[in-house]
Structure 1
């Protein structure tokens, strides 16, 4: 018998100073049985950085041909494709061919520098790909905020993201390895 996804609800109050976007979002996240709390919270952070009316979570780990988040236009064309982790270079190439803009949030501790060294040359060929590294010293504390129902306040300013649940506050300071900063996408 296959394990089912666990459903989480998040009320996200967003103040994005970089894009002058101030909005509340009611989000539902299905966490795949193999997904960690850290990865799920990075998905939420990526949503906050790119928040838009048509931005949505996909089937993620449950579908090989979908990203974690995507933004489609009214013609059903993919405007933004958001990946997480250390995907295969071929997957990113396919994403770049299918989408106007692709953003990879690279995380995973020391393994990220090895992954980056192995893939940097091939990935630099894609003009529509941005790679942003997140330090595990910043992403791991997000796991202390995980609850089945979350009330989160997110503030984006100068590319940094502050996440608070009223008791804890975590700052994510992304490092741009390649492409455009998240706030310019």
Structure 2
């Protein structure tokens, strides 16, 4: 018998001062058996830091899919924001950049290695794609604090992320890297 996904619930209080987004919402995250804790935590951060009307988790990143891990659709169903997690290949970024108005990548990996891997590859509108990363150990600390039921408070201000997860207080700068 196949092992099913682990469902994690999150009650989120978000104060993204940099974007003027202040929301409270509930999330259900399905962690596929092959998904690492670091990938899940980064996917959760990306969802929160990109939060807007129409945001949803996609099928991407877990299996081969024509969807990213997180995406935003407008009222017509068109993908407007393509959000990749981890270390997507250049071809996925190229595809997403042609399909959506904006592409972002959130990673728990070494951003210098990713930028090097994408260097010289054909990526549509590469200069507009933003790669975001966090201080070493930040994502691992989130993984250690995550449970099946979670209470999260996220505050982003002046490029700094403050997170409280189930009573554990963490912080990291949100590092931004450009492809082009």
TM-score (norm 1): 0.87
What's the offset of the Cα at 1:114?
2.6
Is 1:69 aligned with 2:70? yes
Alignment of 1:21-36 (within 5 A): 21-36=21-36
Alignment of 1:1-185 (within 5 A): 1-60=1-60, 61-109=62-110, 112-122=111-121, 123=123, 125-178=125-178
Q: What SS does the aligned partner of 1:136 have?
A: coil
RMSD value, Cα: 2.0
Cα deviation, 1:110-157, whole Å, max 9, x if unaligned, reads xx4233213133348524421223333221111122110101111111
Question: Which protein has the bigger helix share?
Answer: 1
Instruction: Please give the alpha-carbon distance, in whole angstroms, between the structure 1 residues aligned to 2:148 and 2:35.
Output: 15
Q: What SS does the aligned partner of 1:121 have?
A: coil
Cα deviation, 1:155-177, whole Å, max 9, x if unaligned, reads 11112221102521111312211
CA contact (8 A) 1:3 1:33 kept: yes
TM-score (norm 2): 0.89
CA contact (8 A) 1:100 1:128 kept: no
Q: Which 10-residue stretch deviates more, 118-127 or 80-89?
A: 118-127
CA distance 1:131–1:94, shift in 2 (3 Å): same
Instruction: Please give the alpha-carbon distance, in whole angstroms, between the structure 1 residues aligned to 2:172 and 2:88.
Output: 21
Instruction: Please give the alpha-carbon distance, in whole angstroms, between the structure 1 residues aligned to 2:39 and 2:100.
Output: 23
Number of residue pairs matched?
178
CA contact (8 A) 2:17 2:155 kept: yes
Q: What SS does the aligned partner of 1:29 have?
A: strand
CA contact (8 A) 1:139 1:172 kept: no
List runs of 5+ in structure 2 lacking aligned partners: none
> Which runs of at least 4 in structure 1 moved beyond 4 Å after TM superposition?
none
* Map of 1:182 onto structure 2: none
